[in-house]
Amino acid sequence: MSMFTGIPEAPQDPILGTTTLFNADTDPRKINLGVGAYRTEDGKPFVLEVVREAEAQMLKDLGTKCNKEYSTIDGPPELKKQTQGLLFGKDNEAVTSGRIASVQALSGTGALRVATEFIKTHIAKGGDKDIYVSDPTWGNHNAIFAKAGLTVKSYPYWAPATKSLNIDGMLAALGAAAEGSIVLLHACAHNPTGVDPTEAQWESIVKVMQEKKLVPLMDSAYQGYASGSLDKDAYAVRLFLSKGFEFFMCQSFAKNLGLYGERIGMLHIICQTPELAKVVLSQVKLVIRPMYSSPPKHGAELVMHILGTEAQYAKWQQELEGMAKRILEVRDLLRKGLEAKGTPGTWNHITDQIGMFSFTGLSQAQCERLISQHHIYLLKSGRISLAGLNKGNIQYMVDCVDEVVR
Ligand code: PMP
């Protein structure tokens, strides 16, 4: 008998599984709205021009300025400075004083995993620690935090009746949390709802978190995708920094640089003093070394090239704005299409929401019908990635949504 006999087969990942189903579908009308990856107007994966140029430069520099030796456990110092600047503002006192402990991470997921492993060891000191996540949140959050041994709890976020933020519910739950609990916050472009707090609501969140001494774990996976501006989308991050919090900040370049498969991100830990940051960094390195030893170099080189070259940085901002704009156009077309058809219900939330996703409000049964009868792959929660829509398939989408809603 095999030692593997009796191991149950695990279910498919609910997000990545939609791509498997999509790939197996031979119908020419099929649309993939499952995974959150940008697509061009022709529905193709998109490599940013700045990334192409950085790749070409890297090839020229290979063997001189760059090589394939191991990176350090925590990644290049230059990358740390640049990525801190991008999130917090390069002249911010926290950045210039050196009180942020930063490590390169395996994209946003890796940053979250390392952060929570560190929290379990040094903040929870191996004991129980609650981490609050929004209800709903990106599905992997729950799994990552549970794996790290934290107790995952949730705070209300989505108000189904108004398809907007349940700020009262959120504040009440945070107000009732145990002192010192960790609170996962989406820095911008909340996944899956596409609903972010307003500036005034962020202030209320800050207030209750200060009162209850709650610890922010901010997840920035979409900087630049919400508004098209990198600075505007860093509003919440900079607010927490300005209020004197010590906190954890996870940063991903998957979406805003289209570097999904390169697994490039950062974990920044904001400490009160440079001395504390030094100690924290030494301990985060002890988390990383036995986990994966050191991070990959390729994505790091690309990011350093783009952030470190003025012309490239400017070009990136333009390209990012272009991606954000196309998503906004698609939102508009989808809403107008449904309204023009008189599809039952209200559809203003599609354009009110921001970022890559729309939480459509479609029921599970309606989603299942879209998948099984219309070859439109979306999450059963009703989340769609707008990146999969374009002028060529939007009318089909409208017609099918109309059909399942009636
Ligand atoms: N956080 C959120 C909210 C996300 O949506 C994602 C990607 N879907 C991530 C983190 C992590 O993505 P990655 O590991 O590819 O950077």
The pLDDT-based confidence of 13 (bands split at 50, 70, 90) is confident
Q: Is 270 left (phi over 0), alpha (psi -120 to 50) or beta?
A: beta
Taking residue 364's Cβ as centre, other Cβ atoms within 10 Å add up to 11
Report DSSP state, residue 62. B
In the residue annotation, 255 being an active-site residue is answered as yes
Q: Quick one: 248 exposed, middle or buried, by C-beta within 10 A (0-12, 13-18, 19+)?
A: buried
Chain centroid to CA 371: 25
Distance CA 183, CA 150 (A): 12
Distance CA 107, CA 127 (A): 27
Annotated active-site residue in 219, 233, 316, 347: 219
Angle between helix 139-147 and helix 107-118 axes, rounded to 10 deg: 40
Q: Which two tokens stand for residue 330?
A: 């698609």
Distance CA 227, CA 187 (A): 12
Instruction: Determine which residue's CA is closest to atom 11 belonging to ligand 1.
Output: 108
pLDDT for position 36: 87
Pocket perturbation via mutation, ligand 1, pick of 142, 145, 218, 219 by most ligand atoms within 8 A of CB: 219
184 touches 141 (CB < 8 A) = yes
pLDDT in tens, 178-237: 999 999 999 999 999 999 999 999 999 999 999 999 999 999 999 998 999 999 999 999
In the residue annotation, 316 being an active-site residue is answered as no
The pLDDT-based confidence of 64 (bands split at 50, 70, 90) is very high
Helix, strand or coil, per DSSP, at residue 199: helix
Report DSSP state, residue 39. B
Distance CA 406, CA 400 (A): 10
79 touches 265 (CB < 8 A) = no
Amino acid identity at 308: G
The pLDDT-based confidence of 107 (bands split at 50, 70, 90) is very high
pLDDT for position 232: 96
Distance CA 337, CA 390 (A): 13
pLDDT in tens, 30-42: 999 998 899 999 9
Report DSSP state, residue 122. I
Mean residue pLDDT across the chain: 96
Give yes or no for residue 138 CB within 6 A of ligand 1: yes
Give yes or no for residue 252 CB within 6 A of ligand 1: yes
H/E element, 3: none
H/E element, 153: strand 151-156
Distance CA 184, CA 190 (A): 11
Distance CA 124, CA 134 (A): 21
